Chains A and B, each alone.
Chain A
Amino acid sequence: MSIRATILEQITAIARQQNKHLVPLTDQLHLVDSGLDSLCLAILVANLEDELELDPFASGTVAVPVTLGDFIGLYEAATV
């Protein structure tokens, strides 16, 4: 499964688990407007570390991206 698909699948699963209403996921979507709160985003990053063995935030210097597209791009770049 591609990184993009994994991220989108995780977002959908977390929204369901946390009973959050997701808006349609587009690259331009601001994460804060997605329906996920800070706890959900934190769970997302933790789950992605488990699933992808990637943690682009590990250095502590990377800010959380504003849009979903930037977020996916960050993970895709981390595999290169």
Chain B
Amino acid sequence: MAAAVPTFLGARRQARPVVLNGNFGWLHAEPETAGGDVAILLCPPLSWDALHSHHSLRRLADAFAALGYPTLRFNYPGTGDSQDPTGPDQFYPGQDETGPYASQIEAGGNGDYWSLWQDSLNQAAVWLRETTGARRLVLAGVRIGATLAALVAATRNDVAGLALLAPVLRGKSYIRQLCMEAQLETGISVKPEDGLDLYELRLSPETVQRIGTVDLQTLRFAGAPRVGLHVAIFEQSSSRLVDGCIDAWTRQGVSVCSHSFDPLAPMLQQTIHGDTQLADLSGLLDWVCEIAPAAPPANRPAPVIDKQMLVAADQIETPVCFGDDARLFGILCRPLYQTSDIAVVIGNTGRDPHYGVARFAVEFARHLASQGIASFRIDFAGLGDSIGPAGQEDVLSPLFETDRSADISAAIDVLQAAGFRRVAVHGLCSGAYHAFHAALADPRVEALLLVNFPVFFWQPGDTVEQLVRKQAPPAHYAAKLLQRDFWARLGEREIAFRSILMTQFRRLGEQAKLRCLVVLERLGLIQPVNPARRAMATLQRRGVRTIFLFGPVDPGIAAVEEVFGRGATELDAFGAQMCIIPGVDHHISGRQARLATITRMIDFINDRETVVTDGRPAADIIHHHRAAVAA
């Protein structure tokens, strides 16, 4: 009989943030039972896979908890909100010299993540058993998290089940994927023997080499024959590698079955567009209920420590549930040596969890702390680890349509209660949009740090696709006309030519009208008529300092230039500025780009000038890059 997927039982009733050995996580358990004889350890994937699967794993943990399985989901060292096993010469000066992994880093010389991640899984397994009283574990991993789960499960004798969701079966292929991704992102050829620097991952050549040698077909289970160990492979497509694993593991006495990953496929899909189809978790839940039925704990669980903190050399980070019914979640990052009474609220980007693409929010928060500035990185309602409104707890809330002002105001309440008198708000892309509107709604906001700001106002019925189309300059479509397959696709009605044409005409018409109004405004004949100019005037009257930061080819530049002229030079009149940072892409995926952006924002907070634009006006840099891209 199929297990009904339980819905969320109530705000924060069954999930609590935990910190284990410097790693951040969530323990999901029914408050009445607290423990269970079988506990579930969720092993997340990395990078994009981790961002995309975050919501599904939260739902999965809730569902397991409701079925009587205490469930832990957590971030490996150097991922999500966990501490960074990096030395003093790395990104954060002085960070983690005394952290929990200091000895391993020293011993490894370069921070061998592959070993650290497996160690952290083993430590989490021990912690989970001690905390919940469980005697047996089921490990469930996604993509490379499944690989880690398999490697760890093979060494333990307390694992009853192993669920591998779209697993990486050969490390070599995964490394090839990451190298190819890095090459496509940077345009520079990436060789595994040089190590890998992609998004938040910074893997040494040795780590890359170790991952590359993993082949789960050769996995040896300790104590084989392992009768009683059940493995389910939820495969994306049948392959000889899956068959090889099933053969090899069955020979070791393991009970292995395979299922289609298709019902779970939304787990790994990007969630930016429209309504999101939820992953169907029932097959996985059924399988676990069958091979390891939930039971009350045989051992007395150890109490969970209430106050959980991540402590590093520069900062103390505290998970905080806040807002109405404590439905919102964030991590308050306080510097050990506070030098400013301003604190920065950092909201979600897109529908990604609060730590952000390439962990930008975490890097920003910890860099702020190293400069003596506090921050509060939060999830908006219905995103990441914050719960949506009643009846929509499991629904990912929309990108732009939902007003986030109340969430940001609730975060400001937390900061003011913690003693911070001044508040800045930062956002990237849609996060910048929400930061802007929160500043209009809440007079406590003193500064805005808007990165790759996409649009001033979102109209009902607008779509992300329309936004991208509108912001593409006419030259973009002129260049398309020269492509061979454009005309073929046009003929096959693959391209909505009429719609594109109308959008571009509308845009040109709006620009012409706005130019006329700006002239009248400058002559003092009218007050600002354009809503964006009116909004900026409101912020200026309130003394809000605003900086718009963009990568050179970001489509959001068009939104600002459309209202404030070429190079957005008219922003000066509103006490705001636009700054173009070379090398920054829309996600700020490159390490140097992230550092440059963070540096610029900290200097803005401290009212310092940074030269990051080669000393040239923004308009010149934009023009230069557009010309380069066109060429």
B237 at the A interface (CB under 8 A): yes
Contact of A23 among B173, B189, B237, B489 (CB under 8 A): B489
**Identity of the chain A residue whose Cβ is nearest the Cβ of B276 in the assembled complex:** A19
Cβ contact within 8 Å between B485 and A18:
no
Interface contact B180-A42, CB-CB below 8 Å: yes
What size tier do the contact residues of chain B reach? 35 or more
Q: Give Cα A38–Cα B586 distance, bound, in whole angstroms.
A: 14
Is B189 in contact with A61, judged by CB distance below 8 angstroms? Answer: yes
Q: Check if A8 is an interface residue, CB within 8 A of chain B.
A: no
- B362-411 interface with A by 8 A CB criterion: none
Specify which chain A residues have a CB less than 8 angstroms from the CB of B323 in the assembled complex: none
Picked from A19, A46, A61, the residue with its CB within 8 Å of the CB of B180 is A46
Contacts of A24 in B (CB 8 A): 489, 492, 494
Decide: A60 near B177, CB < 8 A? Known: A29-B485, A50-B170: no
Min CB distance B353 to A, Å, is: 17
By secondary structure, the B interface counts as helix
Rounded to whole Å, the gap between the CB of B506 and the closest CB of chain A is: 25
Interface of chain B residues 172 through 189 with chain A (CB within 8 A): 172-174, 176-181, 183-185, 189
- With both beta carbons as reference points, the residue of chain A lying nearest to B182 in the complex is identified as A42
Which of A47, A50, A64 sits near B183, CB closer than 8 Å? Answer: A64
Given the interface pairs A42-B184, A64-B183, the reply to whether A17 lies near B494 with Cβ below 8 Å is: no
Closest B residue to A57 by beta carbon equals B180
Asked if A18 and B184 sit within 8 Å, CB to CB, the answer is no
A19 touches B270 (CB 8 A): yes
Question: Does B420 have its Cβ within 8 Å of any Cβ on chain A?
Answer: no
Within 8 A of A (CB), among B158-216: 169-170, 172-174, 176-181, 183-185, 189-191
A26 to B485, CA, bound (A): 9
Residues of chain A lying within 8 A (CB to CB) of residue B268: 17-18
Residues of A within 8 A of B172 (CB): 49
Which chain A residue lies CB-closest to B261?
A17
A18 close to B189 (CB less than 8 A): no
Q: Does B541 reach chain A (CB closer than 8 Å)? A: no
Contact of A45 among B169, B177, B241 (CB under 8 A): B177
11 A-B residue contacts at CB 8 Å? A13-B236, A18-B270, A23-B494, A39-B48, A41-B180, A45-B180, A46-B177, A49-B173, A50-B170, A51-B240, A57-B180
Bound-state Cα–Cα, A34 to B110, Å: 39
**Interface residue ranges, B against A (CB under 8 Å):** 48, 169-170, 172-174, 176-181, 183-185, 189-191, 236-237, 239-241, 261, 265-266, 268-270, 483-485, 488-489, 492, 494
Within A30-48, the residues touching B (CB, 8 Å) are 30, 33, 38-39, 41-43, 45-47
Contact status of A51 and B239, CB under 8 A, knowing A24-B494, A38-B185: yes
Question: B176, A60: Cβ atoms under 8 Å?
Answer: no
Query: Given the complex of chains A and B, what is the CA–CA distance between A47 and B64 in angstroms?
Result: 32
Residue pair B177, A43 in contact (C-beta under 8 Å): yes
- Is B176 within 8 A of A49, CB to CB? yes
Shortest Cβ-Cβ A-B pairs, 8 listed: A46-B177, A38-B184, A42-B181, A42-B180, A60-B191, A46-B173, A19-B269, A42-B177
A33 shortest CB reach to chain B, Å: 7
B358 CB, nearest partner CB in chain A, Å = 13
Write out the residue numbers on chain B whose beta carbons fall within 8 Å of the beta carbon of A26: 485, 488
Chain B residues with Cβ below 8 Å from A79 are none
| Residues of A bordering B, CB below 8 Å | 13, 16-19, 23-24, 26, 28-30, 33, 38-39, 41-43, 45-47, 49-51, 55, 57-58, 60-61, 63-64
Task: For A50, list chain B residues within 8 Å (CB).
Answer: 169-170, 173, 239, 241
Residues of A contacting B270 with CB < 8 Å? 18-19
Nearest-Cβ distance from residue A28 to partner chain B, whole angstroms = 5
Bound Cα distance A60, B488 (Å): 34
Nearest A residue (CB) for B170: A50
Chain A residues with CB below 8 A from B494, complex form = 23-24
Give the complex CA separation of A29 and B185 in angstroms.
20
- In the complex, what residues of A have CB within 8 A of residue B492's CB? 24
Residues of B within 8 A of A43 (CB): 177
Does B269 contact A47, Cβ atoms closer than 8 Å?
A: no
With both chains docked as a complex, state the minimum distance between the C-beta of A9 and any C-beta of chain B, in angstroms: 9
Cβ-closest chain A residue relative to B194: A60
Expressed in whole angstroms, the minimum distance between the Cβ of B406 and any Cβ of chain A is: 31
A20 CA / B504 CA spacing, docked (Å): 25
- Distance, CA A55 to CA B174, complexed state (A): 12
Whether the pair B178, A42 counts as a contact (CB closer than 8 A) is: yes
The reply to whether B236 and A17 form a contact with Cβ atoms under 8 Å apart is yes
Min distance, Cβ B2 to any Cβ of chain A, angstroms: 24
Supply 11 further A-B pairs (C-beta < 8 A) apart from A33-B483, A38-B185.
A13-B237, A17-B236, A28-B488, A29-B485, A42-B181, A46-B173, A46-B174, A46-B176, A49-B172, A57-B176, A58-B176
Closest chain B CB from A17 CB (angstroms): 6
Please pick, from A19, A38, A39, A60, the residue contacting B190 in the complex, using a CB distance under 8 A: A60
Which A residues lie within 8 Å of B177 (CB)? 42-43, 45-46
CB distance from B469 to the nearest CB of A (A): 15
A19 to B494 CA separation, bound complex (whole angstroms): 18
| Bound CA–CA A51/B170 (angstroms) | 12
A51 to B244, CA, bound (A): 13
Q: A19-B269, A42-B184, A50-B241 are in contact. Are A55 and B176 (CB under 8 A)?
A: yes
Cα distance, A72 to B178, chains bound together (Å): 21
Question: Which chain B residues border A46 with CB–CB below 8 Å?
Answer: 173-174, 176-177, 180
Contacts of A42 in B (CB 8 A): 176-178, 180-181, 184
Tell me the nearest residue of chain A to B174, going by C-beta: A46
Residues of chain B within 8 A (CB-CB) of A57 are: 176, 179-180, 183
Please measure, in the bound complex, the distance between the C-alpha atom of A26 and the C-alpha atom of B236, giving whole angstroms: 25
A-chain residues with CB within 8 Å of residue B190 when the two chains form the complex: 60
Q: How far is the CA of A42 from the CA of B237 in the complex (A)?
A: 17
Give the residues in chain A near B178, CB-CB below 8 Å: 42
- Which chain A residue lies CB-closest to B277? A19
CB distance from A56 to the nearest CB of B (A): 11
